Structure 1
Amino acid sequence: MESTSLDEKILSYNDVVLRRSDLDVLSGPYFLNDRIIEFYFSYLTSCYPFEGVLLVPPSITFWIKECPDIASLKDFVEPLYFSRKQLIIFPINDNADVTIAEGGSHWSLLAFDRNENIFVHHDSSGGINNMHANKVFRAVIYCMSSDARYVDYSLTPRQANGYDCGLYVTAIARQICRWYGSDERPKHAKDLWFSTVTEQIMPSLVGKMRNEILELVQSLMVK
């Protein structure tokens, strides 16, 4: 009975289904799962519906990273129209086992800016996901036939515990989307979104993200 209750569907949002167990993840100090990050990325897409912006779901990012036949990836990612996007955001998970659903123990974020032709890795644990982010980077530039460069941004704000990495991913993704939608954003700026992420992503703000996402889910359940 307990298992059935946890599997109960509580919300369908765009193409994302959340279950009762996801509320428990948001209610306590736990590692965010794929569904919650996919939900929040879908929510950001609704809030910032820019044609040139793509927030890639965790499951697709994972397959891009771990696909055993890189030559087949071009067909797989073709519907995503990477070549038409100005900004692409990928959630990076350190799971490397395709037989384990929602595995891994750390999240980070990889963002691509076409104006500067650069992939930037933001890791709240100081770059421990660098190898996994690099795998996504290499696979994507192969599919895009791109000569973009890769940077691990060392000034990414650091998490203060072992379970908030997913919240940093959601907070940084939101801040980058806000930066992209700002009227003050210059078309060519080497600083990109770096300053706003460094200045705005503080532990106090990230700490509130868990409850903020929980309240968002609950409000959408009521609607």
Structure 2
Amino acid sequence: WSLLVFSRPEKMMFHYDSSNGSNDMQAIELAHKLLRYFSLPIQDKFENVPCLQQNNGYDCGIHVLCNSERLASFAAHYEKIRGCPKITHEMVTQKRWEILHIIEQLKHKHR
């Protein structure tokens, strides 16, 4: 999985791929379709953003969650996407524990 984000103020599509660009072509294709749909220019409106890379084949979902939260918080404060700091390995680890905690709570709640 990867994350494609549209920033209305910047009129840009930003792509975050924690799996070394494995989704680049699909993201570019979708970005162009969305930009055309919104009648926005396509030229120079897509950016592959350098982001924290996963070191396995299964952390893409957690990376998408962490990047989404970081970007939403940054955009709410600064009204833009460009310049948002990268997530860290510690954030990914913390998010994994948060998800496991929620699962444990739900498991005990529904017994």
Common topology (TM > 0.5) = yes
Q: Secondary structure of the residue that 1:151 maps to in structure 2?
A: strand
Distance (Å, rounded) in 2 between the aligned partners of 1:160 and 1:202: 13
Distance (Å, rounded) in 2 between the aligned partners of 1:194 and 1:127: 20
Q: Which residue number corresponds to residue 17 of structure 2?
A: 123
- How many residue pairs get aligned? The number is 107
The one-letter code sitting in structure 1 at the alignment partner of 2:73 is R
| 1:157 aligned to which of 52, 57, 71 | 52
Q: Secondary structure of the residue that 1:125 maps to in structure 2?
A: coil
Asked if structure 2 preserves the Cα contact closer than 8 Å seen for 1:176 and 1:193, the reply is: no
Q: Which residue number corresponds to residue 174 of structure 1?
A: 69
The one-letter code sitting in structure 2 at the alignment partner of 1:206 is V
Distance (Å, rounded) in 1 between the aligned partners of 2:69 and 2:92: 11
Correspondences of 1:24-173 after superposition (within 5 Å): 107-148=1-42, 149-153=45-49, 155-173=50-68
Asked if structure 1 preserves the Cα contact closer than 8 Å seen for 2:71 and 2:84, the reply is: no
Q: Which residue number corresponds to residue 99 of structure 2?
A: 213
1:10-34 CA-partner distances (Å, limit 9, x unpaired)? xxxxxxxxxxxxxxxxxxxxxxxxx
Q: TM-score, normalised by structure 1?
A: 0.43
Q: TM-score, normalised by structure 2?
A: 0.81
1:183-223 CA-partner distances (Å, limit 9, x unpaired)? xx2x4x6xx35342x2xx11122123222123234546749
Q: Secondary structure of the residue that 1:204 maps to in structure 2?
A: helix
172-181 vs 209-218, greater mean Cα deviation:
209-218
Distance (Å, rounded) in 2 between the aligned partners of 1:217 and 1:136: 33
Distance (Å, rounded) in 2 between the aligned partners of 1:112 and 1:217: 31
Asked if structure 2 preserves the Cα contact closer than 8 Å seen for 1:119 and 1:137, the reply is: yes
Q: Secondary structure of the residue that 1:168 maps to in structure 2?
A: helix
The one-letter code sitting in structure 1 at the alignment partner of 2:93 is G
Q: Which residue number corresponds to residue 54 of structure 1?
A: none
Distance (Å, rounded) in 1 between the aligned partners of 2:48 and 2:89: 20
Q: Cα–Cα, structure 1 residues 217 and 177, in superposed 2: closer, same or farther, change >3 Å?
A: farther
1:131-173 CA-partner distances (Å, limit 9, x unpaired)? 11112112211221111511111x2111122211111000000
RMSD: 2.2
The one-letter code sitting in structure 2 at the alignment partner of 1:143 is Y
Q: Which residue number corresponds to residue 194 of structure 1?
A: 83
The one-letter code sitting in structure 2 at the alignment partner of 1:131 is M
Structure 2 unaligned spans of 5+: none
